[in-house]
């Protein structure tokens, strides 16, 4: 029985040895463990617009507060709150009776002064001839001349009084100083209006076009100026003054705006300055005080390197790095510097160049110095799709046939 067990054990050992030899013969000479497969992207220089997203607020293009310029009781309100009004349109009517009386009084006084002027003018002319021949004394001539000058002054005075009374009478109809949308009224019929009172009756805002005031960091401005000086960014382009807008719910605004000016003073509390843009607002979508994000094109990077964000990692100190594949298909760690995010990619300012192959997928199974097998990276949504169905019958490929 013991001899049988020994023969069985020898047979098992012989089978294992034969299997090992067969596996060794099937492997080519020099082959080792299979290299891990990674997906890589080959970088190329690109022409990329440098667009900065800035927070901003919408403000009215024109705004005017409506106040009375004469004192009196409000008799009528002549507009609908929240409606559009035209410049010069009557908004309120203040009781005109006292101002009409003042105008009539000034007009009558002017008529009396003008009636007194011709006789005194004629008398002064006669006394001028008589004093020349010594027919009247010099004193009498001086008295008549003075009366003539006073009569002319009275006419000028009452003309001014009539004009003042006419202006005040016109101010009893409070009109719109600008065209735009009028707000709510703070007074009602029967209220007392006081000339130049601090509280406004209402306000009018012109909402087409509108301003968007955005804040820009002065540090970012200095960084941009250095990029322009080094030639990395070109600011001479046809779209430099064009601005786009993203509304507070994340939807893009359909109209394109124009960059008007940048403020010359930096706010010391925030380290930022104001950029003012003008946007058309024909449908009234933009309202004063609304938050929006302005997309401002600062320039164009003529030779930009864009790296997928999923390929960029950071060390414990926060420094960015990528794993790339060198000419010998060996993994290499490369430290890089990133400028900003553009879509789903990082704009790389240093560390990479055109032709570098960076690893996008398979990062977990490789480390620097390890040989790898590379395949092109296919982003989600860019894989090959089946051709559209045109109605023509197509034969099934052999691999799809049932076996």
Phi, psi values for residue 272, rounded to 5°? -135, 165
Phi, psi values for residue 278, rounded to 5°? -120, 130
Predicted confidence at residue 19, as pLDDT, reads 60
**pLDDT per residue over 120-152, tens digit each?**
888 888 888 888 888 888 888 888 889 889 999
Per-residue pLDDT, averaged over 22-27, amounts to 49
Mapped onto helix, strand or coil, the DSSP state of residue 382 is coil
Answer whether 107's CB lies under 8 Å from 88's CB. no
Q: Are strands 46-66 and 202-217 parallel, antiparallel or unpaired?
A: antiparallel
pLDDT band at 388 (very low <50, low <70, confident <90, very high): very low
Predicted confidence at residue 398, as pLDDT, reads 38
Judge if the upstream peptide bond of residue 332 is cis by omega within 30 degrees of 0.
no
Distance between CA atoms of 263 and 181, rounded to whole angstroms? 28
Tokens for 196? 């130049």
Answer whether 207's CB lies under 8 Å from 262's CB. no
DSSP 199-236: S-SEEEEEEEEEEEEEEEEHHHHHHHHHHHHHTSEE--
**pLDDT per residue over 194-239, tens digit each?**
998 999 999 999 998 999 988 887 776 676 666 656 555 555 655 5
Output the CA–CA distances (angstroms, integers) from residue 156 to 109, 167, 168, 184, in the order listed.
Answer: 11, 17, 19, 43
> Does residue 26 register a pLDDT over 50?
no
Q: Are strands 46-66 and 72-77 parallel, antiparallel or unpaired?
A: unpaired
Distance between CA atoms of 210 and 63, rounded to whole angstroms? 11
- Predicted TM-score (pTM) of this structure: 0.62
DSSP 116-127: HHHHHHHHHHHH
Output the CA–CA distances (angstroms, integers) from residue 224 to 232, 233, 250, 340, in the order listed.
Answer: 9, 8, 27, 12
Comparing 370 with 16, the larger pLDDT belongs to 370
> Does residue 100 register a pLDDT over 90?
yes
All structural domains of the chain, each given as residue ranges with its CATH number in brackets, are: 46-59+206-376 (2.40.30.170), 72-94+173-199 (2.40.50.100), 96-171 (1.10.287)
Distance between CA atoms of 275 and 280, rounded to whole angstroms? 17
In eight-state DSSP terms, residue 344 is T
> Does residue 59 register a pLDDT over 60?
yes
Distance between CA atoms of 266 and 224, rounded to whole angstroms? 16
């Amino acid at each position: 029985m013991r001899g049988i067990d020994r023969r069985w054990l020898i047979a098992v050992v012989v089978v294992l040895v034969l299997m090992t030899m067969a596996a060794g013969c099937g492997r080519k000479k020099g082959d080792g463990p299979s290299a891990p497969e990674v997906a890589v992207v080959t970088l190329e220089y690109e022409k990329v617009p440098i667009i900065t997203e800035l927070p901003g607020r919408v403000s009215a293009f024109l705004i005017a507060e409506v106040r009375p310029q004469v004192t009196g009781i409000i008799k009528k309100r002549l507009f609908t709150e929240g409606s559009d009004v035209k410049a010069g349109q009557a908004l309120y009517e203040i009781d005109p009776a006292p101002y009409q009386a003042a105008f009539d009084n000034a007009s009558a006084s002017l008529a009396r002064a003008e009636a007194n002027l011709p006789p005194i003018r004629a008398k002064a002319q006669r006394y001028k001839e008589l004093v020349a021949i010594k027919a009247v004394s010099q004193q009498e001539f001086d008295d008549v001349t003075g009366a003539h000058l006073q009569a002319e002054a009275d006419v000028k005075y009452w003309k001014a009084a009539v004009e003042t009374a006419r202006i005040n009478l016109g101010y009893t109809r409070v009109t719109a100083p600008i065209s735009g949308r009028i707000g709510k009224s703070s007074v009602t019929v029967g209220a007392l209006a006081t000339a130049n009172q601090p509280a406004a009756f209402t306000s009018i805002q012109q909402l087409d076009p509108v301003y968007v005031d955005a804040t820009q960091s002065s540090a970012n401005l200095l960084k941009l100026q250095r990029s322009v000086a080094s030639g990395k960014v070109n600011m001479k382009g046809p779209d430099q003054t064009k601005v786009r807008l993203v509304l507070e719910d994340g939807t893009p605004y359909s109209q394109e705006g124009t960059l008007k000016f940048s403020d010359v003073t930096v706010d010391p509390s925030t380290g930022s300055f104001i950029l003012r843009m003008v946007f058309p607002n024909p449908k009234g979508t933009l309202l004063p005080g609304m938050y929006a994000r302005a997309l401002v094109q600062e320039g164009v990077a003529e030779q930009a390197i864009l790296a997928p964000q999923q390929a960029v990692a950071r060390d414990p100190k926060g420094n960015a790095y990528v794993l790339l594949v060198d000419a010998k298909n060996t993994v290499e760690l490369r430290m890089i510097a990133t400028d900003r995010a553009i879509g789903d990619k990082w704009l790389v300012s240093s560390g990479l160049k055109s032709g570098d192959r960076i690893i996008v997928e398979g990062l977990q199974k490789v480390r620097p110095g390890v040989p790898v097998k590379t395949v092109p990276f296919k982003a989600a949504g860019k894989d090959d799709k089946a051709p559209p169905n045109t109605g023509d019958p197509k034969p099934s490929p052999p691999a799809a046939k049932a076996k």
